[in-house]
C-alpha cells in the first residue's frame, strides 16, 4: 500500500519542476494525474460503503498513506535539485555526494538511536552489498537520464514499477488482501504511462477511458470481496 503512493511524485513534480527548472509537461498530461489520484482512491474502495468521501479521508488520515504523500512531496523538491546539481557539476560527483551524505546522515541517526550495526550486518553482508550496488547503479542511471528528458518524465518511468512492488509485497512479505492494491496500482501505472509516453490527444483520452472502464469492471467483479472487507 505504501509504494503506490509514490506515484504522486510526478503529480507534485509538475509545479515544482516548472518553478525550479522551467520544465512544464503539456496540459494533456494532466490525464495521467487524474488516473493517479483515481487509483489512490480505488485502493480504499471498500470505504465507499461508508460514504463517498470516506476514501478521500482515508488517504489523508491514514498514517501510512500520509507519510508516503509527504515522501512524494519531498521527492518533488529533491529531484529537481538533483538535476540542478548534476548540471552544476557532473553525474558522478553528484552521485558520490548523494551517497556519502546519505551514509553519514543515517550513521549519525543510527548512533543517536543506539542502533547495533554489527548485529544488523551479521550474516547479511552479501545482501547489504548487493542492495547498495544496485541502488548505486539505479542512481547513476537516474542522474544520467536528466541530460535527455525532463525530471517529471524520469520520475514517471521510475514509478512504473509500482505494480511489481505490490506483487513483491505479496510474494516476499506474504502481504494479504492485495486485490484492491493491484487494481489501484494498475490504474496509477496507466497514469504514469500517460505522463511519460508521447501520446496524441485521441490516444491519451482513449487510454484514460479504457483504464477507467477496466477499473470499473475489476471493482465490479471483486465487489463481494470489498463488501466482506467493509464488514
| Contact in structure between 30 and 205 (CB atoms under 8 Å) | no
| CA atoms of 108 and 106, how far apart (whole Å) | 5
3-state secondary structure (DSSP) of residue 207: helix
Q: Residue 185 contacts by C-beta under 8 Å, 6 or more apart in sequence?
A: 4, 39, 43, 162, 163, 165, 166
| CA atoms of 130 and 210, how far apart (whole Å) | 39
Say yes or no to pLDDT of 226 above 70: no
| Contact in structure between 31 and 94 (CB atoms under 8 Å) | no
Q: Residue 25 contacts by C-beta under 8 Å, 6 or more apart in sequence?
A: 14, 150, 152, 153, 195
| CA atoms of 46 and 11, how far apart (whole Å) | 25
Say yes or no to pLDDT of 168 above 70: yes
Torsions phi, psi for 164 (to 5 deg): -60, -35
Alpha-carbon torsion 136, 97, 9, 84, what sign? negative
Alpha-carbon torsion 87, 89, 91, 96, what sign? negative
Q: Which of 46-50, 104-108, 180-184 is least confident?
A: 46-50
- Show the cell assigned to 212: 477507467
Q: What is the pLDDT of residues 85-112, one digit of tens each?
A: 998 999 999 999 999 999 999 999 999 9
Q: What is the per-residue pLDDT for 12?
A: 85
Q: How confident is the model at residue 21 (pLDDT cuts 50, 70, 90)?
A: confident
**Helices and strands in the chain, H and E counts:** 12, 0
Say yes or no to pLDDT of 40 above 80: no
Torsions phi, psi for 25 (to 5 deg): -70, 160
Residue % of the chain over a pLDDT of 90: 24
Amino acid at each position: 500500500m505504501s509504494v503506490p503512493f509514490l506515484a504522486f511524485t510526478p503529480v507534485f513534480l509538475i509545479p515544482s519542476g516548472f518553478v525550479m527548472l522551467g520544465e512544464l509537461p503539456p496540459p494533456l498530461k494532466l490525464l495521467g494525474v487524474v488516473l493517479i489520484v483515481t487509483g489512490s482512491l480505488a485502493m480504499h474502495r471498500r470505504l465507499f460503503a461508508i460514504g463517498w468521501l470516506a476514501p478521500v479521508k482515508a488517504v489523508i488520515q491514514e498514517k501510512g498513506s500520509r507519510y508516503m504523500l509527504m515522501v512524494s512531496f519531498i521527492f518533488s523538491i529533491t529531484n529537481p535539485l538533483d538535476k540542478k546539481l548534476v548540471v552544476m557539476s557532473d553525474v558522478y560527483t553528484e552521485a558520490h555526494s548523494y551517497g556519502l551524505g546519505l551514509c553519514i546522515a543515517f550513521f549519525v541517526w543510527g548512533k543517536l538511536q543506539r542502533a547495533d550495526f554489527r548485529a544488523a550486518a551479521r550474516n547479511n553482508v552479501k545482501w547489504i552489498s548487493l542492495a547498495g550496488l544496485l541502488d548505486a547503479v539505479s542512481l547513476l542511471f537516474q542522474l544520467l537520464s536528466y541530460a535527455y528528458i525532463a525530471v517529471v518524465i524520469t520520475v514517471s518511468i521510475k514509478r512504473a514499477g509500482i505494480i511489481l512492488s505490490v506483487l513483491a509485497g505479496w510474494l516476499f512479505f506474504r502481504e494479504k488482501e492485495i486485490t484492491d492494491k493491484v487494481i489501484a496500482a494498475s490504474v496509477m501505472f496507466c497514469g504514469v504511462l500517460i505522463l511519460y509516453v508521447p501520446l496524441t490527444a485521441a490516444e491519451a483520452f482513449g487510454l484514460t477511458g479504457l483504464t477507467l472502464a477496466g477499473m470499473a469492471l475489476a471493482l465490479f467483479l471483486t465487489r463481494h470481496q470489498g463488501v466482506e472487507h467493509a464488514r
